Structure formats: structure tokens, C-alpha cells
Structure 1
Amino acid sequence: MSVIVTGGAGFIGSCIVRTLNDMGIEDITIVDHICETDKWMNMRNKKYTEYINRDEFLEKLPEYAGKVTHIIHMGACSATTERDFDFLYKNNYEYTKTLWKFCTENQISFIYASSAATYGDGKEGFDDKEDIKRLRPLNGYGYSKQLFDLWAEKQTIAPKQHVGFKFFNVYGPNEYFKGSMASVIFHSFNKINETGEMGLFKSYKEGYEDGGQLRDFVYVKDICKVVKFMIEHEEVSGLFNLGTGQARSFYDLAASTFKAMGLEPNIKYIEMPESLRAKYQYYTQANMEKLRSVGYADDFYSLEDGAKDYVQNYLMKNYETY
């Protein structure tokens, strides 16, 4: 196998490179946009052939015809706060179309990141078997991902294998360079170390207690296991949810972080900024039946087990790299 991993120095991408190495695959091209960030640190313990800057890669792409078996496309602007939609359109939509077309022309596998942000406020549910044309994302990032999902659905010719993943709330090692977009566990760990307490948003919706807002938190090691499954099952194609199928509260997440650190929970409730309240999601939970229906049978990490592994084996070890 010869694999191109875009976003390969980033959070999920670098963990996938680790998984490929564990599978014995070292013929890997990492594509990313590192610039002045420290994402290069995620590459230090990986085996790969070359690194190419994102902005130079598409020009070089024709050179890989007949030389690669898979493109795993995790590279994107994943900031839900990004306001430059022209950038999102070019980077998340047009770029992905180019890779799809290359994989189609060369009949190789294409595995790419969609997002649970495509579900918008959740009024249409979180079922990957339903008509995606009904979805109304709440931010430009989610819409840029939705645009590609809709485009891919219309294509009459496709890559040898095409798999999109609607990632829910992913957490785990190697997310250290995501800034404000890193997981709540990551920020909780740092806040607890700094102040001894963690602040969670108050609730402004009937039926939800303060800190009781629910999310489907999925450990990045489970993401990697599902990607490995797809690599090993090239007969499977489609757009799939990738969460755990179990919604948990932010209180549970914070409490799990405290427990993993060997501390009693010390949680305060803070006001949610006015700018967030109108579009704030109180519930996400992936319907995982579609993934199960194609044969994926492994259990997912519980929130408690995932938090324990992440905190004790990575965060408490000076941000160990996976």
C-alpha cells in the first residue's frame, strides 16, 4: 500500500498515520499546512516517505497517478468560527472535489472527513441513512462539508472506494495544537491544573440542567480503528456517522477528567456568551446503525475509559504524542 494522508500532521490525521504504521505501512505522503505551528511534533514518531505543503500538493498530484492506493483526506479548515466563506469553499469543497476526481480517474480508495456539523441544530435528527438534502448547517464550516457530501452524492462515476465520515465530538492525543478548537477534555485538563476548577456553561433551555448539555464524545483511537476497518474492507463505500451512539453531558466529561487526574470534581457554572446562545446545540448523538450494518462490530471507548487513557497516558505525560 502507498497512502497519501492530507492533514497528516494534524490531530486526527497524525493518529491515522500512527495506525498505518502499526499496520506495517510506511510508504506514506503527509500533506499539511504547518507553517509556524508546532504540528510537526505530531510527525516525529511516525514513519513516512515525504511531507508536502498543502498549497503545493495539487500541482504535484498528477505525479502520483498509478503510484498510490489510498488517499485519506483529513485536511480542512475545521474551525466552526471561520468567517471567510470563500476560503472554506476553496479549501474544504473545491480541494476535496479535486482529490475525488483523481481517485476516480485512477480507481483508488478515497476516505475523507465530513462532519456532524452538517446536521445543523439537529431538528432533522442525526441519522446518516436519511436524505442529506434536508440538512441545514449552522456555520460556514458545516456548510462547506455539506456541499461536498451533496456533490459526491450526485456523481455517477466514483473512486474504487469512497467513504465519508461525519465526525462527532472527537477528543484525544495529538490535538495539542488546535487552540480554541481542541476538545473540552484538553481545555479542562489545563484549566484544572491552573485553577483547580472547571467552568461549564449554564443551561438556557428547559429540560437541561447546567452542564447537562449533551454531546456524542468519541475517542480518536476509535476513529483510527474505523478507518483501519475501511482500509481492510474496500467493498464498503458510503457516508457514515462516526461517534459512539451515546450522548453524554459536559458534566460527565468534566467529572471524568477530574477523576482521571485523581481529583474530586470542582465544577462551576458560568454564563454562556450572548453570541452563542441562539445557535447553541444542546444535544448530539450519532445513529450508528449504518456503520454496524456493514460489519463494524468493535465496541467504542466509554467516555470514562477514553478520558482516563487520554489524561493519564498522554496529557499527564507532558502531552505525549500518539
Structure 2
Amino acid sequence: MKNNMKVILTGGAGFIGSCVLRMLNDNGIEDIVVVDNIGSTNKWMNLVNKRYRKYVNKDRFLPELASGEYDDTDIIIHMGACSSTTELNFDYLWLNNVEYTKAMWNFCTKRNIPLIYASSAATYGDGENGFDDKMNINELRPLNGYGYSKQVFDQWSLKQDKTPSQYVGLKFFNVYGPNEYCKGSMASMVFHGYNQMVETGKIKLFKSCNPKYADGAQERDFVYVKDVCNVIKYFIEHPEYSGIYNVGTGRAQTFEELVSAVFYAVGKEPNIEFIEMPEHLRGKYQYHTKAEMGKLRDIGYTDEFMDVDAGVKDYVINHLAKNKMVY
């Protein structure tokens, strides 16, 4: 990775984006334009220990991009999006997740530079067709507007005759880890569970509404954000690879395993309370996700992904228990 690389990083003050910023800094890259919409949130705290050239609000960025100000950019890493799975304003989702990403694509195509962007495992919907990134994505049926907006862009990208020099869409599964502190309800169960454990001594999980799954046995592919950054680093270092790739661990682990790891990280026995699932979630709830990782392995990615025991332990001990230390 060239340390004189000029990078545009959208969503750079957010959860995954700020961790990517840390990874870039750790590799000697500092000429970075961070694009985000911090507003009156505390996301600025994710930038305090980072090095970058400038911060630009997302609404000002596109006019600046069109003006030619960033024509010397070497790569765009586009992590910015509306990532709320409960967002109901579809026009907002379309503007942020489809049209904004098209602008990134067109700029990179014109300049013949790489684009790495965030897709989502939410495109897979209920998983009826599996979670294989080698399949025909037109067969997927997302369950919410967020997942559909990501699906629309993925479909659009595959129809383009003119492309960036490299284009990589990353279908993130259930990412958890440091710097997610400002995500509110969309933060991981590790974050919310740790706070519950500290406050009440127990962690609450939804009961199952599917007879095939016991309470707490609902499964997800939980992937640690530091592993996600390693995947992004790999694609930066291998511009010869393009396409849409899953980013998970290839494991399905239960919510009970996940929150038990929170207790074990601080030397406590699990104390879990099962509560009723809200009515509005029941018809859209995924009971199982597991990324097929063969496509990424086929292009030579060999790093191992942490399981929940290792990832949660690092997150709890080195970040949450240290006053939510920023990575």
C-alpha cells in the first residue's frame, strides 16, 4: 500500500469508516478526505485520534467533487450510507444509497481509479436463496428498504459497460466492534449487551417466534470490524480484483453465544433474560445468516476471521471496558 496515496473516504467518521481510517493511518496513509454528516452527533470523537487532510460534510462534497477539486484522488472508499434497517423514508434511502453511490462510480470511472463501496448482507433477505456471493443477485429479495437500496445499486453496477479501474462491493454481514458507539439502536448486540450487563447485571435477548429455533438460538454471521478492515486492505493492495464479495466469517453463531462471550470477557457467568420480540419485527426477522466465503478465498485471501469468543473479548477488554475507547 503506497503511503502517498490520496484517498476519499466517505462515512469516515462512522463505525466502519473510522476503523478503515485507522487502518489507513496504520499503513502510513494520511492524505485522506473524510466525508460524513456529523452534525450535532458525537461521531467527531471517532476522528480525534486519526490523521487526515480535511473533513467535508456530505452535502457539500458532491459539488466540490464536480468542481474538479479532487481530480488527483487515487481511490474512493465509499462507506457512507443510510444504514438503518428500520428507515421508512425510501426517497432518503434512494438518494443516499443509490444516487450518491452512482456519483462515486461515475467519478472513479472518469478518472480510471478504484472504487470500494459498502453493499450489505441485507440484500439476501430472509436467506431463502442462501448467502452465496456467486449467485445471480437478481434472484434476491431484500426484506427492508435499506437492503433493497443496496440491491438496486449492486444490480445497476453489473449493467455498466464503463467501470472504474477496480470496483468492489462488500456485502457486510453482522459487523460489531469499537467506534459503533454513536449508532444508537443500530449498534451491535455486543455494545447494547455490555451496557445492560453493567447497568443491570443481565442481558436481554428476543424470544424466538420460529419453532425451528430456541430462544437465543437465532443465528448470525458476526464479523469483527478489525477483520473487515483487513479485507478492505487486501482489495486496496490487489486492484486486479473486482466484483461483489461477502464479508463475514463463514460461521453461523447464536445470539446466546454472542452475549455469553460478553460475560465471559469480564469473568462472569451469563445471565440472560428472554423478552418478547416487537410485533413490527416479527415478519422481517432473520433467523439464520452465514456468509459463503469461497469467492473471497478464491482470489487469495487467507487471513482468518475471529469467532465471537475472540472478537468480543478484544472489543470488551480493549475498548468497552476502557470507557468505550475509540479504535
Q: Tell me the TM-score range normalised by the shorter chain.
A: over 0.9
The alignment's TM-score, normalised by the length of structure 1, stands at 0.99
Amino acid in the other structure paired with 2:19: C
Percent sequence identity is 61
Looking at structure 2, the residues matched to 2 and 311 of structure 1 have their Cα atoms a distance apart, in angstroms, of 33
Looking at structure 2, the residues matched to 139 and 208 of structure 1 have their Cα atoms a distance apart, in angstroms, of 22
Of 39, 59, 62, 1:58 maps to: 62
SS at match of 1:321: coil
Amino acid in the other structure paired with 1:279: K
The alignment's TM-score, normalised by the length of structure 2, stands at 0.97
SS at match of 2:249: coil
Quote how far apart the aligned CAs of 1:282 are.
0.4
SS at match of 2:77: strand
Match of 2:184 in 1: 179
Of 128, 133, 139, 2:133 maps to: 128
Can you give the 5+ residue segments of structure 1 that lack an aligned partner in the other structure? Answer: none
Match of 1:207 in 2: 212
- Between stretches 203-212 and 19-28, larger displacement belongs to 203-212
Correspondences of 1:1-322 after superposition (within 5 Å): 1-62=5-66, 63-322=68-327
- The answer on whether the counterparts of 1:128 and 1:287 sit within 8 Å (CA) in structure 2 is yes
- The answer on whether the counterparts of 1:32 and 1:52 sit within 8 Å (CA) in structure 2 is yes
Quote how far apart the aligned CAs of 1:66 are.
3.5
Looking at structure 1, the residues matched to 110 and 69 of structure 2 have their Cα atoms a distance apart, in angstroms, of 12
Looking at structure 1, the residues matched to 204 and 22 of structure 2 have their Cα atoms a distance apart, in angstroms, of 33
The structure 1 segments of at least 4 consecutive aligned residues displaced by more than 4 Å after TM superposition are none
Quote how far apart the aligned CAs of 1:218 are.
0.1
SS at match of 1:90: helix
Looking at structure 1, the residues matched to 111 and 69 of structure 2 have their Cα atoms a distance apart, in angstroms, of 10
SS at match of 2:59: helix
Amino acid in the other structure paired with 1:241: N
CA RMSD of aligned residues (A): 0.7
Looking at structure 1, the residues matched to 8 and 59 of structure 2 have their Cα atoms a distance apart, in angstroms, of 15
SS at match of 2:12: coil
SS at match of 2:199: helix
Quote how far apart the aligned CAs of 1:300 are.
0.5
Looking at structure 2, the residues matched to 261 and 144 of structure 1 have their Cα atoms a distance apart, in angstroms, of 39
- The answer on whether the counterparts of 1:65 and 1:106 sit within 8 Å (CA) in structure 2 is no
Looking at structure 1, the residues matched to 276 and 86 of structure 2 have their Cα atoms a distance apart, in angstroms, of 19
Looking at structure 1, the residues matched to 326 and 267 of structure 2 have their Cα atoms a distance apart, in angstroms, of 22
Quote how far apart the aligned CAs of 1:266 are.
0.4
Quote how far apart the aligned CAs of 1:64 are.
3.9
Residues 114-166 of structure 1 show CA distances to partners (whole Å, capped at 9, x for unaligned) of 00000011101100000000111110000000000000000011001100000
- The answer on whether the counterparts of 1:212 and 1:250 sit within 8 Å (CA) in structure 2 is yes
Amino acid in the other structure paired with 1:52: V
- Between stretches 257-266 and 199-208, larger displacement belongs to 199-208
Amino acid in the other structure paired with 2:214: E
- Between stretches 202-211 and 279-288, larger displacement belongs to 202-211
Quote how far apart the aligned CAs of 1:203 are.
1.2
Quote how far apart the aligned CAs of 1:65 are.
4.7
**Count of aligned residue pairs for this structure pair:** 322
